[in-house]
């Protein structure tokens, strides 16, 4: 069959969307080759590099290679893929998401660069990519980075709050966990909260702030009271898994601040493991509660709790192949230190930076603590010295507690 260069370009872009990663250099090609292997498909890094123009090539891919690319996207073969493309309008890639509704990520990027907020609003009103679409995640990172670049520009924050897409992309998906100078906490209260009426959205605001205060060791009774009022409006069994994880995290912070955590520890761990067993998206339940409990010095009790560690082990070993969750990064770090020398034979995965743009400070600390675990001799001492200084400066106490001997 005749091979159309446009279809080759299209499938390359669609694969980038599916894995949420741009192919920019040979390390990316190696990484993508491994993703094919996970689906029991064979394609070499060199072939991928030629496909994406990382290395120059004057020849078109073999049909067998195109069949492999098509199967990666769950088509039977290349012919089936081409037939499907002729039937449906193509939604382009991670970088240019033009569709029949008129939204374009590249145009949004340019409008934000120029601070043409009228154009930004028009594009957000045409936005249709919600839920777990990779384009949603990429667009959230794009907007979040501009918000930080512009030092939380009030006009931009308000524009994002008054549009459904803006709320979903920045306030609900990006979620700036770095929260420099409490900028995100303030934006949630000033811009986002007045625009939402859904009880779960209201709960999210107060749960985020209570947890942020907890890690900063700030006790704010009024905010806790608002959080408790918000949770009363929602049966916990109806909470989205992200909000359920925030609920359990906040209950730990509040119990600790009220000097009740030691007495309620067993009940809290039982609730965590119960919810972990019931939820499919359970990694965040473990990750957020690990952070909170270790923050308050309960590392040793967690290490000795068989039920909790069985849940951690089950989640990590089941889901680590996807390698696409910031929560698994936290769980992996906990698992390594809880297993001690037995964990040295484990090969840790590394997340693309894109997954942690809203939490870059913690990413650096997690990766350094992971490196420390495997290090020996003088380099381990250097890593430890720098890591302790960094965690003190950025107020990431839970990692300091986790690595402490």
> Cα-flanking dihedrals φ and ψ of residue 210, to 5°?
-60, -40
Burial class for 30, CB neighbours closer than 10 Å (0-12, 13-18, 19+) = middle
- CB count within 10 Å of CB 1 equals 8
Residue 81 has pLDDT above 50, yes or no: yes
Residue 133 has pLDDT above 80, yes or no: no
The 10s digit of each residue's pLDDT in 25-59 is 999 999 999 999 999 999 999 999 999 989 887 78
Query: Which residue, among 145, 150, 103, has the nearest Cα to 127 in the 3D structure?
Result: 103
The percentage of the chain sitting over the pLDDT mark of 90, rounded to a whole number, equals 60
Residue pair 175/357 in contact (Cβ under 8 Å)? The answer is no
The pLDDT, as a whole number, for residue 100 is 43
Cα gap 61→8, rounded to integer Å: 9
In terms of average pLDDT, the best of 32-36, 318-322, 340-344 is 32-36
Per-residue pLDDT band for 343 (boundaries 50, 70, 90) equals: confident
Residues 6+ apart with CB under 8 A from 1: 63, 78, 79, 82
Cα gap 325→190, rounded to integer Å: 30
Q: Determine the average pLDDT of the residues in 89-113.
A: 64
Q: Which residue has the higher pLDDT, 133 or 360?
A: 360
Provide the CA 277 distance to its chain's centre, in angstroms: 21
Average pLDDT over all residues of the chain: 88
The 10s digit of each residue's pLDDT in 370-389 is 999 999 999 999 999 999 99
Residue 98 has pLDDT above 70, yes or no: no
Query: Which residue, among 48, 45, 138, 125, has the nearest Cα to 91 in the 3D structure?
Result: 138
Sequence length of the chain is 405
The pLDDT, as a whole number, for residue 128 is 78
Per-residue pLDDT band for 321 (boundaries 50, 70, 90) equals: low
Residue pair 144/156 in contact (Cβ under 8 Å)? The answer is no
The pLDDT, as a whole number, for residue 274 is 86
Per-residue pLDDT band for 97 (boundaries 50, 70, 90) equals: very low
């Amino acid at each position: 069959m005749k091979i159309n260069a446009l279809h080759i370009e299209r499938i390359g872009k669609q694969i980038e969307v599916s894995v949420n990663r741009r192919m920019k250099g040979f390390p990316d090609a190696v990484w993508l080759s491994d993703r094919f292997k996970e689906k029991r498909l064979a394609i070499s890094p060199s072939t991928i590099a030629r496909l994406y123009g990382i290395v120059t090539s004057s020849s078109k891919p073999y049909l067998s290679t195109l069949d492999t690319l098509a199967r990666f996207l769950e088509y039977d073969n290349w012919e089936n893929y081409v037939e499907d493309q002729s039937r449906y309008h193509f939604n382009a890639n991670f970088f240019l998401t033009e569709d029949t509704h008129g939204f374009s990520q590249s145009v949004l990027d340019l409008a934000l660069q120029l601070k043409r907020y009228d154009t930004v609003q028009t594009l957000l009103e045409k936005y249709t990519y919600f839920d777990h679409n990779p384009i949603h995640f990429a667009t959230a990172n794009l907007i979040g980075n501009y918000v930080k670049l512009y030092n939380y520009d009030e006009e931009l924050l308000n524009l994002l709050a008054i549009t459904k897409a803006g709320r979903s992309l920045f306030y609900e998906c990006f979620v700036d966990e770095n929260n420099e100078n409490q900028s995100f906490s303030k934006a949630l209260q000033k811009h986002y909260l007045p625009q939402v009426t859904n009880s779960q959205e209201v709960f999210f605001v107060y749960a985020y702030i209570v947890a942020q205060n907890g890690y900063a060791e700030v006790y704010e009774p009024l905010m806790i009271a608002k959080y408790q009022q918000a949770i009363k409006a929602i049966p916990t069994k109806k909470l989205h898994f992200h909000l359920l994880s925030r609920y359990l995290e906040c209950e730990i912070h509040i119990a600790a601040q009220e000097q009740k955590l030691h007495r309620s520890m067993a009940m809290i761990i039982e609730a965590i493991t119960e919810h972990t067993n019931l939820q499919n998206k359970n990694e965040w339940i473990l990750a957020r509660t690990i952070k909170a409990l270790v923050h308050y010095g309960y590392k040793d009790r967690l290490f000795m709790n068989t039920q909790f560690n069985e849940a951690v082990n089950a989640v990590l070993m089941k889901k680590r192949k996807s390698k696409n969750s910031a929560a698994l990064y936290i769980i992996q770090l906990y698992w390594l230190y809880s297993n001690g020398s037995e964990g040295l034979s484990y090969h840790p995965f590394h997340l693309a930076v894109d997954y942690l743009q809203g939490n870059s400070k913690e990413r650096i600390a997690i990766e350094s603590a992971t490196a420390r675990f495997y290090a020996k001799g003088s380099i381990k001492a250097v890593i430890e010295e720098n890591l302790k200084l960094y965690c003190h400066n950025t107020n990431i106490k839970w990692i300091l507690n986790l690595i402490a001997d």
